Amino acid sequence: MKTLLFKPFEKYSENKLLIIGIIATIIGTYFAYIFNLRFNGALDVHIVKETSIKQSIIDNLINLISLITLFYIAGKYINTKTRLIDIISTVVVSRIPYYTLPLLNFNNILSDATNGMMKFMGPESVHHMPVSHIIILIAFTIISILMVIWYITLLYNGFKIATNAKEKSSTVLFIVALITAEILSLILIYNFN
Amino acid sequence: MKKLPVNCPSCESPLVASQLSCSECETVISGSYSLPVLLQLSKEDQDFIFEFILTSGSLKKMAAKMEKSYPTVRNKLDDILEKINDLKTN
């Protein structure tokens, strides 16, 4: 079970992982569209008033291309035997926990809670803020943090197996690649989507 | 089968064979014979190399047989190669 949840790259073939990852990406993109969430950065997720299917697809394409490009460059630097297919399957499978987040905005529950809270933001009315809205947003924050940790753990484990990385310098390179992918995806989404 | 000790339990230096004997006529030969590099590897690594030969060197077949992914098996082979190179240079 631990292998399946955190180290699927150790056991399952790249083809199996790739198919599962692509199906999850399609479903995640659709969820983002119908539940009004945007993956507007490799590590970002934001609740929006409205989103289009085109916007959801471009967001995810930019995120995937940024992550795959940066991790492939870092992987080749660490080990010349690193294969592109292992990096692609790592990235698409690692994002599966993230794709569950739009479900939390079912029936616009998060959007309503956010808008509801905004109405009570003044110094006088802040004490009248509905507790249910606060609980909903705290729960979303906690679940989001857990999903980010799961997502990055999967990325790191997959990257380690794809590159046979052992040195501490490889971990530093992984962090640099992840942060660079985040910045690159933010810039690309901001300019093109 | 008994595990062949390859390192001294006292100082951890590599062991050498100092006596060989014939199981039929009990002739005993004394000397100092270094162990081949492959015998100095762990049992797990030796089994891996054995499987590698049995699958004609196909890592894909090995991965399927071991129920592991291709990069996991390739990494194991790379680690063994690194150990062999270390043993050869020491």
pLDDT digits (tens, 9 = 90+) for A60-95: 999 999 999 999 999 999 999 999 999 999 999 999
ipTM score over 0.95, yes or no:
no
Residues of A in contact with B77 (CB under 8 A): none
Q: What is the DSSP letter of A128?
A: G
Cβ-defined contact of B68 to A9 (cutoff 8 Å): no
pLDDT value of residue B21? 94
Q: How far is A86 from chain B (nearest CA, A)?
A: 8
Entry pTM: 0.88
Q: Residue A14: closest CA among chain B residues belongs to which residue?
A: B69
CB contact set of A76 (below 8 Å; sequence gap of 6+): A82
Mean pLDDT value across chain B: 92
pLDDT value of residue A190? 93
Cβ-defined contact of A13 to B78 (cutoff 8 Å): no
- pLDDT band, very low/low/confident/very high, at A173 (cuts 50, 70, 90): very high
Q: Which of B69, B78, B79, B83 to mutate to test the interface with A (most CBs of A within 10 A)?
A: B69
Does residue A133 or residue A143 have the better pLDDT? Answer: A143
Cβ-defined contact of B71 to A11 (cutoff 8 Å): no
Q: Residue A9: closest CA among chain B residues belongs to which residue?
A: B69
pLDDT value of residue A145? 95
CB atoms within 10 A of CB A40: 21
Query: How big is chain A, counted in residues?
Result: 193
Residues of A in contact with B68 (CB under 8 A): 10-11
**Both tokens assigned to B8:** 């001294």
Q: How far is CA B77 from CA A164, A174, B35, B44, B82, in A?
A: 11, 23, 21, 12, 9
Q: What share of chain A is helix, strand, coil (3-state, %, to 5)?
A: 80, 0, 20
pLDDT value of residue A112? 84
